[in-house]
């Protein structure tokens, strides 16, 4: 066993991941691309101009990391350049996925990286997600923008564009895409809709990073954490007082209004 999928297995896995990506709403129309290594220097990847939800094995393209198409009648996506760059920068990586999941992409557009320590699972399996500077999709500038993160992280947001994730196998890469979108969604709810998130303390994050290392995940960065030990789940006393004050004021106002209103 050399750890590589066979051609048949790689194509089957790419089609399955494409379908899940499409069903989850991570890609619209023909967006997104997926690749998977079958040897040190050869990958299977998705073609240009095809919906990832409806791919068949004959559409996929086999190519070498120096950019030569070895098999398949379609052209690879112009974005395959960034996949190749991930493999070049980090030879341990076996698969790469790229999509435009709406919440993660919105963070990429707002220029806000996903680096708040709020979910233990996200710290362990995904890590923090930095933003690579904007580059025209398909241009050589895109691979250059992601290169600094390929060894130190597991995923990156592409400014005003989308998300890129990688892993030791195709499902790890894809699950990181799911985790990224879930993490971004929770950050959106707590940040802008609920308006509050209790961050994990730095001590709690250290513990999670140790677990991550024990699981063999060496990359992922360390998210922003709270310096003080927080008592997660508890409303702070002064906030409780504020809530009670607010409630008392509202009730008093209602009573006064009803008295002033007469009958």
With contact defined as beta carbons under 8 Å apart, do 128 and 155 qualify?
Answer: no
Binding site for Zn ion (CB under 5 A): 162
CA distances from 73 to 46, 49, 57, 154 (A): 12, 13, 11, 32
Smaller CB separation from Zn ion, 101 or 221: 101
When the beta carbons of 51 and 190 are compared against Zn ion, the nearer one is: 51
Any residues with CB less than 8 A from the CB of 59 and at least 6 apart, and which? 46, 47, 50, 72, 74
Provide φ and ψ at 156, rounded to 5°.
-145, 145
Minimum CB distance to Zn ion, residue 194 (Å): 30
Cα-only R_g, the chain? 23
| Min CB(79)–Zn ion separation in Å | 5
Query: What is the spatial distance between Cα 37 and Cα 63, in angstroms, rounded to a whole number?
Result: 10
Q: Considering beta carbons, is residue 178 or 199 the nearer one to Zn ion?
A: 178
CB-nearer residue toward Zn ion: 162 or 223: 162
Least distance to Zn ion, CB of residue 190, Å: 27
- Closest CB to Zn ion belongs to which residue? 162
Minimum Å distance from CB 179 to Zn ion?
Answer: 19
């Amino acid at each position: 066993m050399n750890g590589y999928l066979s051609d048949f297995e790689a194509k089957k896995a790419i089609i399955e991941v494409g379908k899940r990506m499409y069903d989850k709403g991570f890609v619209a129309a023909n967006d997104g691309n997926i690749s998977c290594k079958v040897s040190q220097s050869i990958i299977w990847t998705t073609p240009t101009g095809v919906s990832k939800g409806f791919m068949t094995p004959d559409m996929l393209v086999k190519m070498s990391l120096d950019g030569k198409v070895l098999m398949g009648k379609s052209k690879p996506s112009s974005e395959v350049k960034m996949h190749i760059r991930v493999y070049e920068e980090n030879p341990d990586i076996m698969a790469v996925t790229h999509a435009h999941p709406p919440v993660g992409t919105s963070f990429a557009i707002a220029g806000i990286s996903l680096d708040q320590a709020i979910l233990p699972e996200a710290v362990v399996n995904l890590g923090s997600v930095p933003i690579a500077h904007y580059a025209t999709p398909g241009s050589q500038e895109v691979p250059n923008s992601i290169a600094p993160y390929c060894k130190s992280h597991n995923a990156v947001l592409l400014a005003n564009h989308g998300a890129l994730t990688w892993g030791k196998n195709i499902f790890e890469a894809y699950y990181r895409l799911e985790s990224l979108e879930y993490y971004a969604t929770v950050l959106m709810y707590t940040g802008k809709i609920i308006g509050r998130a209790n961050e994990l303390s730095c001590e709690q994050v250290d513990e999670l990073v140790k677990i991550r290392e024990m699981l063999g995940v060496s990359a992922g960065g360390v998210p922003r954490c709270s310096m003080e030990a927080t008592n997660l789940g508890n409303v702070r006393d002064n906030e409780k007082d504020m809530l009670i004050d607010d409630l008392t004021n509202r009730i008093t106002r209602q009573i006064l209004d009803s008295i002033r209103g007469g009958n």
